[in-house]
Amino acid sequence: MLVLTRRVGDTIEIGNGDDTTTITVTVVAIKGKQVRLGIQAPSHMTIKRKEMYQEVRNQNQEASQLPATSAFAAKEILRQLKDNEFPQ
């Protein structure tokens, strides 16, 4: 892990230096123990907080552990709704 010390207004660039792959991180403000960062990246790159990635990962893991019968039951209900039938 690279650890850097930056002041408000200082910038870090991550990438090859061209506009299609470079991410620019700027320290916008420091207030107490919180640091406010500005992140500039190409539009094809997704930027999310780590806890958001973790939440998606947890939801995917929970969904993958559902019994197969639940998926088949859901598929059958959707088929019936599509055919304008209603499950009992």
Q: What is the pLDDT of residues 22-41, one digit of tens each?
A: 999 999 999 999 999 999 99
35, 62: one domain: no
Q: What is the pLDDT of residue 85?
A: 57
- Beta bridge partners, 36, equal 29
Strands 34-40 and 11-14, bridge-based pairing: unpaired
39, 7: one domain: yes
Q: What is the pLDDT of residue 38?
A: 97
Percent of the chain with pLDDT over 90: 41
64, 33: one domain: no
Q: Which domain holds residue 62?
A: 48-88
